[in-house]
Chain A
Amino acid sequence: MVRINSAFIEKLRSYGSFDINACYNCGNCTAICPLSTENNSFPRRMIRAAILGLEERIDSSVDPWLCYYCGECTDTCPRDADPGGLMMALRRYQIRKFSVGKIGDFFYKSFHSFFVWLILTLIGVAGIFYFKGNPDMEEIKPLSLFSLDLLHYAGIIAFVFLLVIVFSQLYIMLKSTNFKSESSNKSGNYFKTFFTVLFREVFFQERFEKCEDKSRYFAHLLLVWGFIGLFIATITIMMMDFFAPHSEGIRIIPKILGLISGLPALYGTLYFMIIRAKKKGSYAKFSHHTDWMFILLVFLAILSGFALDILRWSSLFKVYYFTFAFHILVVFELIVSFPFTKFAHILYRPFALFLVELRNSRK
């Protein structure tokens, strides 16, 4: 027995633009969807749950994460109900809903949070200069701005914090999906499924490739690879700084990796910024403030990273140090806030696919 909660759809409205009440249940959205299958059929079910306000059904569903928002459903909808927009809104809703301690509320409530974040960052930069305002002005030495200890402890704290948050949030998602592990599932199966999802969906984005607009898929794939490359490069340099501070020669390798990875990531970011700004296609027709927040953060992080590489060869020491502080803070913010922002999709989407794969492998 379920009660209709008609207020729910109003609540959902703050997460995106859609007119899902216009739906007359024709099912074209599900029929046209290149990703919907017999076992995992969407978005129709979610539409119905949203209209009736069946909150539990929505919280317990991984359907929103199976959708890559190609917009086919929205373009086909005879009632202009924008099912794709609804699925996107549901992803935003779930990110906020699953966030630990309602931290997601801060980012999702309004665009103001972005400015708060910006001001905090600038205060942070100022603070760094205030407390450690005597960087080396003879020669560019990034570490003269930060003490290695500061980085070290900040890193450890952030790592522990993220580890706790990520697992808590995955646990929250797992709980709300009512996913039950069965004895028939051997641990080998879990590993196999995990790696299948990792390779197919994370590294090669196989599902995204099924969307008809290949340029979006391509841009996203470049962004993912660029990100992975940048991540590896950053971690390697940090490790080198920590474990082998005087190994100048080999440092060139992660630096080159960083440069090579930065370019596709920059392309991907610019691509998404442009289609969002131009409102090109149903996917980009509406942008939530959290979309812009995420994309701007990534853009600023990559841009400041490139700026550092250029400034390194200049004599604008002050500018360099300022940019460096800014870059470090943006990256830090990006990483620390990732479970509560749009960035969290790198957490939920693979996990949702993992659960679906597990469920399907049982059948």
Chain B
Amino acid sequence: MKERIGVYICYCGGNISDYVNVNKVKDSVKDEDGVVLAKTTVFACSDSSQKEMISDIIENKLDGIVVASCSPKLHLHTFRSVAERAGLNPYEYVQVNIREQDSWAHSDKPEEATEKAIRLVRAGIRRLREAQPLLPNEISVTDSVAVIGGGASGMRAAIELADTGLEVYLIEKEHFLGGRIPQWGELFETNERGDILIEKLYNEIIKRNNIKIFTGTEVESFSGCVGNFNLEVKIKPRYVKSGIECNEFEKIEEGCPVEVDDEFNFGLTKRKAIYKFYKNAYPDLPAVDFENCTKCGLCEKLCPDAFDFNQKEEKLALKVGAVILTTGFSPYEPSEGEYGYKKNDKVITLQQLRRIMELSNGNLKWKGKEVKEIAFIYCVGSRQKSGENKYCSRYCCTAAIHTSLLLKKKYPYIRSYHLFRDIRTYGKQEILYRDSCKQGDIYLKFDENEPPVVEDLNNRAIVKVKDLLTEREEIEIEPDLVVLVTGMIPRKNSEIERIFKVPVGRDNFFNEIHPKLRPVETVIDGVFIAGTGQGPKNLTESILSSLSAAAKTYSLLSSGTLKLEPIVAFVDSERCKWCGDCAEVCLYDAIEKENQDGKEIAVVNEALCKGCGSCVPVCESRAIEIKGYTNKEIIGMIDGMLEEVR
């Protein structure tokens, strides 16, 4: 029990003292049990005040301090450090909030505010009386990391992490790396091709032998705690052996009798049961779609050594110190009939148009007809008025404008109409918008309440829009192609969400802890997010976030050990009779049953515990408590709060 406590009541300039009689507060707590020193101070956080506190602690041999000032969110660490510099344990300090929770809230009732301040400070003193010094938990970590999702973000993060010396597992669900970037052809600003960028990244990856690529691999389970996670993965067989020379793959693909929708081309074309997403997809080895395979035997006939149909699904356990989720996005799929989608065959999405451009030779044709005029309808599936997707997808304005620039370059006769709500070509992308205007693209602005209408008229698409820039005049266009500029939604990965327990926001993308200050961390320590799985981004922004996740991962694992917050649950083994209630309410799976000298009791995994306190009230035998918030401390606080003010 603390017997030599110092109490400081802060004026906060006048923020507190204008409403709370700070001297009265000081006088009424100075004789509390254990208090040897009580002072007021104009700014407790000022440098001189901090120095004064340190000398007070040393001179008066104080064993703890209470500072009644602002919210702990602002200065908890300031005064913890004061305690530490004066030789105390940082947890031998209690902050009492008499500003946000008192003077500001009750500026109309100064007397009552003063009384409340006295009660709050008294509660703080009682809590400190029972406080124990706490030390951070130190654990050793595994120096490996799993990157889930082998798109551009994941590949880039893997390279960076490998260069720090960590072991990297790059896990991709599909049989080929690259994600969505190779689907788009030339990318905006640099006009580099997506597949070429992926090829560059792949060549860097294979240069590093501390990156292990797992394609056709999905995560099955995830357990453990920061620094020491256990990951179980399931590897689908490819049925094609690597390292075997076979020059007949093209012939085999041609001869394969199976035809299924090619997901890489958004169902615009068919692919065979033996396939590669695209010609230079990596790893440079086709895969067999066994589900759709008719087992005709053609492939084995032509290249007997290259195939092994006895390959089985494999399960693998990986131990990693951290995980980066780069699971990416899917294009928003318009509902049937949305702007005539799937009803009028002249209506396609921007993503489909990009594939058509990639696949077409000579003139741009759609359904056998030459395309001369294109109407782009913006914000489809983004900034929805009614509908889930309230957000702006960030990349689509520029992507559509860049597409129209590419079209004009390749097919100078094509004319583009842009039906937009606002043009958001931020930063350097603005130049593309200017270029598009200059090449004669026509921009029509619609109100979200009066979106354009696509009418089907004998296999023609008539687009009608009330143009805000022309005094809401109804303008009619008859394009050969209506392109819906669809936004981003997260990849359908509810399994990943479930397995990693990473929270998602209202937009269904992964949620970071703090969008500004902690943009790639999740509430699960050691699980980072990057790329478009976290929210709409263009490639530049995705890579930025993936590199920042890589840096955060390295700073977490680099020292080999981790210091964890000491405010965690602990179990009194005498009292515990293992009922399992605490384990059931634990959100972090931090409590497990253990046999101790023949007695079953609950044991807390301190690396997993967040100190949330959910377990404390459910324990009937009062066997589980939180360090820094023990029952004694809490009851002391309540007593201090309730005692009458004389």
Give the contact stretch, choosing among B336-344, B467-475, B615-623.
B467-475
Within 387-425 of B, Cβ neighbours of A (below 8 Å) are at 415, 417, 423
B139 interface residue per 8 A CB criterion: no
Give 14 CB contacts A-B under 8 Å. A2-B470, A3-B476, A4-B475, A4-B477, A6-B442, A19-B438, A21-B438, A22-B434, A22-B437, A25-B445, A45-B471, A51-B442, A52-B470, A79-B437
Contact residue among B438, B441, B464, B470 (Cβ-Cβ distance under 8 Å from A54): B470
| B18-44 to A contact mask, C-beta < 8 Å, 1/0 | 000000000000000000000000000
State the interface size on chain B (CB cutoff 8 A). 23
Check A1 against B474 for contact (C-beta < 8 Å): yes
- Bound Cα distance A32, B476 (Å): 32
Within 8 A of B (CB), among A1-21: 1-4, 6, 9, 19, 21
A79 / chain B contacts, CB cutoff of 8 Å: 434, 437
Contact among B423, B434, B474 for A2, CB-based, below 8 A: B474
Q: Which residues of A contact B439 (CB under 8 A)?
A: 21
In angstroms, Cα B433 to Cα A9, docked, is 19
Q: Is A24 an interface residue when CB atoms closer than 8 A count as contact?
A: yes
- In the complex, which range does the number of interface residues on chain A fall in? 10 to 19
* B437:A52 contact, CB within 8 angstroms: no
Q: Is the CB of A1 within 8 A of B440?
A: no
Assess whether A48 is interfacial by the CB under 8 Å rule.
yes
Q: Which residues, 451 to 481 on B, are CB-close (under 8 Å) to A? A: 464, 467, 469-471, 473-477
Are B473 and A2 touching (Cβ within 8 A)?
A: yes
Q: Are B434 and A25 in contact (CB under 8 A)?
A: no
Q: Which of B269-288 contact A (CB under 8 A)?
A: none
Nearest chain B residue, comparing its CB with the CB of A44:
B469
| Beta-carbon contact of B475 and A2 below 8 Å | yes
Q: Which residues of A contact B445 (CB under 8 A)?
A: 25
User: Smallest distance from the beta carbon of B401 to chain A beta carbons, Å?
Assistant: 12
- Say whether A6 contacts B470, CB under 8 Å: no
A20 to chain B, nearest CB (A): 9
- Nearest to A24 among chain B residues (CB) is B437
Within B93-150, the residues touching A (CB, 8 Å) are: none
A9: chain B residues at CB < 8 Å are: 440
User: How many Å from the CB of B423 to the closest CB on chain A?
Assistant: 8
A19 to B438, CA, bound (A): 7
- In the assembled complex, A23 has its CB within 8 A of some CB on chain B: yes
> CB distance A22 to B464 under 8 Å?
no
Q: State which residues 88-132 of A face B: CB under 8 Å.
A: none
Chain A residues within 8 Å of B467, by CB: 52
Query: Are A1 and B464 within 8 A (Cβ)?
Result: yes
Q: Which residues of B contact A52 (CB under 8 A)?
A: 442, 467, 470, 475
- A21 CB contacts on chain B under 8 angstroms: 437-441
Neighbouring B residues of A45 by C-beta, 8 Å = 471
Which residue on A lies nearest to B464, using beta carbons?
A: A1
CA distance A8 to B476 in the complex (A): 16
A-B contacts besides A1-B474, A2-B476, A4-B475, 18 pairs, CB < 8 Å: A1-B475, A2-B473, A3-B476, A4-B477, A6-B415, A6-B440, A21-B437, A22-B434, A22-B437, A23-B437, A24-B433, A24-B434, A24-B437, A48-B469, A52-B467, A52-B470, A54-B473, A79-B434
Q: How far is the CA of A79 from the CA of B438 in the complex (A)?
A: 9
Complex CA–CA separation, A213 to B158 (angstroms): 64
Determine the chain B residues whose CB is within 8 A of the CB of A54 once the complex forms: 470, 473
A223 CA / B439 CA spacing, docked (Å): 41
Q: How far is the CA of A9 from the CA of B439 in the complex (A)?
A: 12
Shortest Cβ distance from residue A132 to the other chain B in the assembled complex, whole angstroms: 57
What are the residues of chain A within 8 A of B433 when measuring CB–CB? 24
CB contact between A1 and one of B415, B417, B443, B476 (< 8 Å): that residue: B476
**Minimal beta-carbon separation of B376 from chain A (angstroms):** 14
Chain B residue numbers with a CB within 8 Å of A23 are: 437
**What is the bound-complex CA distance between A152 and B439, given in angstroms?**
57
Bitwise interface map of B from 472 to 516 toward A, beta carbon under 8 Å scored 1, else 0: 011111000000000000000000000000000000000000000
Q: List which A44-94 residues lie within 8 A (CB) of chain B.
A: 45, 48-49, 51-52, 54, 79
State whether B470 touches A48 (Cβ < 8 A).
yes
In chain A, residues 189-238, which have Cβ atoms closer than 8 Å to a Cβ of chain B?
none
Residues A22 and B438 in contact, CB atoms below 8 Å apart: yes
Contacts A25-B469, A48-B469, A52-B475 given: A4-B437 contact, CB under 8 Å? no
State A341–B173 Cα separation when bound (angstroms). 73
The 3 closest A-B pairs by CB, nearest first: A21-B440, A22-B437, A22-B438
Q: In the assembly, what is the distance between CA of A2 and CA of B464, in Å?
A: 9
Cα A49 to Cα B434 with chains together (Å): 19
Q: With both chains docked as a complex, state the minimum distance between the C-beta of A82 and any C-beta of chain B, in angstroms.
A: 12
Q: CB-CB < 8 A to A51: which residues of B?
A: 442
Task: Give the docked Cα–Cα distance between A19 and B433 (Å).
Answer: 15
Cα(A2)–Cα(B466), bound, Å = 10
The CA-CA distance from A52 to B474 in the complex, in Å, is: 12
Chain B, range 231-290, C-beta contacts under 8 Å to A: none
B445 (CB) vs chain A CBs: closest residue: A25
Which residues from chain A contact B415 at a C-beta distance below 8 Å? Answer: 6
Complex CA–CA separation, A54 to B437 (angstroms): 18
**Cβ of A13 to closest chain B Cβ, rounded Å:** 11
Measured CA separation A22–B437 after assembly (Å): 5
| Most-contacted residue by chain B among A23, A45, A52 (CB, 10 A) | A52
- Report the minimal beta-carbon distance from A69 to chain B, rounded to whole angstroms: 23
A52 to B439, CA, bound (A): 14
Closest A residue to B438 by beta carbon equals A22
Contacts of A6 in B (CB 8 A): 415, 440, 442
Bound complex: CA A24 to CA B436 (Å): 11
In the complex, chain B residues whose CB is within 8 Å of the CB of A2: 470, 473-476
B45 to chain A, nearest CB (A): 47
Contact residues in B for A49 (Cβ distance below 8 Å): 470
User: How far is it, in angstroms, between the C-alpha of A23 and the C-alpha of B474 when the chains are bound?
Assistant: 20
| In the bound complex, CA of A19 to CA of B441 (Å) | 12
Name the B residues within 8 Å of A1 (CB-CB).
464, 474-476
The distance from the CB of A27 to the nearest CB of chain B, in whole angstroms, is 10
Q: Closest CB-CB distance, B425 to chain A, in whole Å?
A: 10
A45 CA / B475 CA spacing, docked (Å): 15
Q: How far is the CA of A171 from the CA of B28 in the complex (A)?
A: 96
Report the Cα distance A49→B464, complex, angstroms: 17
Residues in A with CB closer than 8 Å to B475 are: 1-4, 52
Closest to B468 in A: A25
Which of B442, B464, B467 is most buried by chain A, counting CB atoms within 10 A of its CB? B442
Tell me the bound Cα distance from A49 to B470 in angstroms.
Answer: 8
A119 and B467 CA atoms in complex are apart in Å by 51
When distances are taken between beta carbons in the complex, the residues of chain A under 8 Å from B464 are 1
Bound state CA distance, A161 and B442, in angstroms? 44
Chain A nearest CB from B462 CB (Å) reads 10
- Cα A305 to Cα B442 with chains together (Å): 52
Q: In the assembled complex, which residues on chain A have CB atoms less than 8 Å from the CB atom of B417?
A: 4
A24 to B433 alpha-carbon distance, docked (Å): 9
Specify which chain A residues have a CB less than 8 angstroms from the CB of B471 in the assembled complex.
45
CA–CA, A6 and B414, complex, Å? 12
List of A residues within 8 angstroms of B476 by Cβ: 1-4
In the complex, how many angstroms separate the beta carbon of A46 from the nearest chain B beta carbon? 11
How far does the alpha carbon of A23 sit from the alpha carbon of B415 in the complex, in Å?
17
